[in-house]
Amino acid sequence: MAIKDILVHADTQPGSDGRIAFAASLAKKSEVHLTGLHVKADVVIPVTGNEGMIPQSLIDDQERAIELQAEAAKNQFDSAVSAYEIEGAWLVARGAAADLLRHHSHSADLIIVGQQHPDATQAHDIPEGVLQDTGCPTLIVPYAGMGRTFAQNVMVAWDDSAPAARAIHDALALIPETARYDVGSGKLLVVGSWIAMLVILGIFFVRYAMGVGLAMQLEIVRDHNVQLAVSLVLGAFSGFFLARGLVFWRIYGAHRGQRAAG
């Protein structure tokens, strides 16, 4: 399933700025549209037994605070959209957040919500509600943040059930594709990588520096510690390509075996 539109829940609770920034970075990486949804809180009227005596100023103060929260959430969203140079749309609604996310999920391919922060002023069950009530893939961002990498090392909780198979199918669109087997041609197509290019350049510069040092008869290149360090570096670089090649060979072998069996 290709992702074309991401829906992120944007509020002003602790951790919301990181969630919005992560959603924007994912939209930038996937080259898709990002929609931010902010849900305004309801005005809380104290139960006094005589609601007619509640001053209007109390309601007005809450409304102003709610509007300020909506404005702050929009500023966070606009800043992320501008920073990552992506297309974005902003939505504001009032009601139950889980219900509104479910309603707007019909036009989204991925929903991003946040885990409740221990310091949050309002308790909610948004992740649970979205997971149970929507058929859209949902990504829950931990309140501690996502870290520097995403979907580089994937662990699958598998119980041989239909929901597990559906979850893995939905997650495939978020997992970086390093190699793909083309059934028609029988070839393994490898996606280009800056890391591989940098490793190649590293091998070149290390060997070039050692060659220049030997040609100039520098004493440092004859030092055993330097030679040992160079050997370790070149060995690590070679190990990178060996491991990469083994992974690609396993992918090719698995698909080739399936093709032969079919």
149 and 188 inside one domain: no
Nearest Cα to 202, choosing from 233, 232, 231? 233
Whole-number Å distance between alpha carbons of 90 and 10 = 10
* Residue 101: other Cβ atoms inside 10 A: 27
Sequence letter at residue 137: P
234 and 255 inside one domain: yes
Whole-number Å distance between alpha carbons of 170 and 205 = 42
67 and 190 inside one domain: no
232 and 215 inside one domain: yes
Give yes or no for a contact between 23 and 34, defined as CB atoms under 8 angstroms apart: yes
User: 124: which residues sit within 8 A by CB, 6+ positions away?
Assistant: 97, 98, 116
61 and 146 inside one domain: yes
Whole-model pTM: value is 0.60
Kindly give the confidence (pLDDT) of every residue in the chain, 262 residues in length, as a single tens digit, with 9 standing for 90 and above. Answer: 568 899 999 988 888 888 899 999 889 888 889 999 998 887 777 666 555 566 777 778 888 888 999 999 999 999 999 999 999 999 999 888 888 888 888 888 888 988 887 776 666 678 777 877 777 888 888 877 766 666 666 666 777 777 777 777 777 666 665 555 566 666 666 767 788 888 899 999 999 999 999 899 888 888 989 989 999 999 988 888 888 777 777 766 665 655 555 5
> How confident is the model at residue 173, as a pLDDT?
67
Instruction: Among 143, 174, 205, give the residue marking a domain's end.
Output: 174
Q: What is the dihedral of CA 123, 13, 113, 95, to 10 degrees?
A: 60
Its domain, for residue 13, covers 5-174
> How confident is the model at residue 149, as a pLDDT?
63
SS3 140: strand
> What does each C-alpha distance from 212 to 106, 200, 220, 222 come to in angstroms?
63, 18, 12, 12
Whole-number Å distance between alpha carbons of 45 and 223 = 80
> How confident is the model at residue 85, as a pLDDT?
92
57 and 163 inside one domain: yes
SS3 223: coil
Nearest Cα to 120, choosing from 33, 50, 191, 16? 16
**Chain centroid offset of residue 65 CA:** 31
Instruction: Among 156, 174, 192, give the residue marking a domain's end.
Output: 174
168 and 232 inside one domain: no
162 and 84 inside one domain: yes
> How confident is the model at residue 83, as a pLDDT?
93
76 and 130 inside one domain: yes
120 and 250 inside one domain: no
SS3 191: coil
24 and 120 inside one domain: yes
97 and 18 inside one domain: yes
Instruction: Among 107, 141, 174, give the residue marking a domain's end.
Output: 174
> How confident is the model at residue 231, as a pLDDT?
92
> How confident is the model at residue 37, as a pLDDT?
93
Question: Structurally, how many domains does the chain consist of?
Answer: 2
* CATH code, 39: 3.40.50.620
